[in-house]
Amino acid sequence: MAAETCGVGAVRAQSAHFDAPLRLRCGATLPGFDLVYETYGTLNAARSNAILVCHALSGSHHVAGHYADDPANVGWWDNIVGRGRPLDTDRFFVVGVNNPGGCHGSTGPREINPATGRHWGADFPVVTVEDWVQAQARLADHLGIGQWAVVLGGSLGGMQALQWAIDLPERVRHSLVIAAAPRLTAENIAFDDVARQAILTDPDFHGGHFYEHGVRPVRGLRLARMLGHITYLSDDQMAEKFGRRLRNGSFGYGYEVEFEVESYLRYQGDKFAGFFDANTYLLMTKALDYFDPALASGGDLAAALRKAQAKFLVVSFSTDWRFSPARSREIVDALVHNGQDVAYARIESSHGHDSFLMRDAHYHAVMSAYLGNVTT
């Protein structure tokens, strides 16, 4: 390994309120809203060293570090942020933000709707990746950041990085699109719909207003997460990690946990269902399904990307079957077709879609090399 690196240590979340209403793609308007965010490193005098990290389905503003009063609560992408790490806080000012519709403090279904005095719940409007870019732009204004050096993210986060380059081209110098796709396939949507149906048909969902009933649709949320985890891992990795190993060494001929993989999935499902908001889960999967920047160009992704001014790094992972390397190549091919500036790395990794969150020497070396050449 290279020289020792250092994480960002104790951090704290901040909040910003935005008075101006946000007109959403769905036709609804979000009145004044709050965004919770964190920052790591220092904004330079030229305000030219800012990086926006966009979160995926279950992520949040808490990208790196830990909280002084909750040291076990480490950010979801801690391994990539800090001194000597790819998102080097000696050089960059890194911003993480929880998107509207989320459940980590930004305005979303779990928060109180000022118009009704009760939880937004199912009344929270459907939000899209485009909406998030607009909301994040408000935060950039608030922080005095006219142009991001870099916008990046993995999975649904990578889609936001792509949308930024299209919607606000003059405000992004580099767009890093990791483990993403330019649109979901029918199979992707199918998995999302099964997860949504699990939540929507849970008797404790109460049409999205479960907060008032003192219950949470934990059964549906648990199933959604179990299913999600299958698509995040690779077949090979599951074979290696669990294989057909039995919890107790022999068949139990019943429905308790038998195979180790069952134990893992149920544990992940239970953990997630214990804290995540069911309405947020629905919203996040809808944002995934709707994402399709080429739609307005009749499906022509190259045409959609033509107005982007950013330079691109596209990264995919060999065993990612949720958004396979072929899907990343669609983005690369469109950019190449346009003669735009794009680098592409396909990383060999056994960790499937989750690879983008892992500390892998080759992956991080690619990220460090690219980001090392980003001028600030």
The footprint of a second copy (CB under 8 A) covers: 25-27, 125-126, 183-187, 189-191, 193-194, 196-198, 200-203, 219, 222-223, 226-227, 229-230, 233, 235, 238-239, 241-244, 251, 253-255, 258-262, 265-266, 269, 282, 286, 289-290, 292
Residue 174 annotated to the active site? no
Please state the φ and ψ torsions of residue 134, each to the nearest 5 degrees.
-65, -40
Q: Please confirm, yes or no, whether 155 is among the known catalytic residues.
A: yes
Q: Cα–Cα distances in Å, from 174 out to 52, 170, 204? A: 10, 11, 44
- Determine the Cα–Cα distance for residues 45 and 278; give it in Å rounded to an integer: 42
A 10 A CB-CB count for 214 gives: 7
Q: In which region does residue 155 sit, left (phi positive, over 0), alpha (psi from -120 to 50) or beta (all else)? A: left
Nearer to a second copy among residue 37 and residue 205 (C-beta): 205
Which residue lies nearer to a second copy by CB, 84 or 299? 299
Q: Provide the minimum distance between the beta carbon of 64 and a second copy in the complex, in angstroms, as a whole number.
A: 31
Known catalytic residue at 55? no
DSSP 212-276: GGT---HHHHHHHHHHHHHHHS-HHHHHHHTTT-BSSSS--SSSS--BHHHHHHHHHHHHHHTTS
State the minimum distance, in angstroms, from the CB of residue 194 to a second copy: 5
- From the candidates 88, 131, 202, 320, which is the catalytic residue? 320
> 65 and 78 in contact (C-beta within 8 Å)?
yes
Per annotation, catalytic residue among 104, 174, 353, 364: 353
Which CB atom, from 55 or from 183, has the smaller least distance to a second copy? Answer: 183
- How many C-beta atoms lie closer than 10 Å to residue 173's C-beta? 19
Which of 183, 311 has the CB closer to a second copy? 183
Q: How far apart are the first and last CA of the chain?
A: 26
Q: Which of 207, 91, 77 is nearest to 155 (CA)?
A: 77
Q: Dihedral of the CA atoms 251, 256, 258, 261 (nearest 10)?
A: 160
**CB neighbours of 213 closer than 8 A, spacing ≥ 6?**
204, 206
C-beta closer to a second copy: residue 154 or 228 = 228
CA atoms within 13 A on the CB side of 52: 35
- Among residues 85 and 229, whose Cβ is nearest to a second copy? 229
What is the set of active-site residues?
Answer: 155, 320, 353
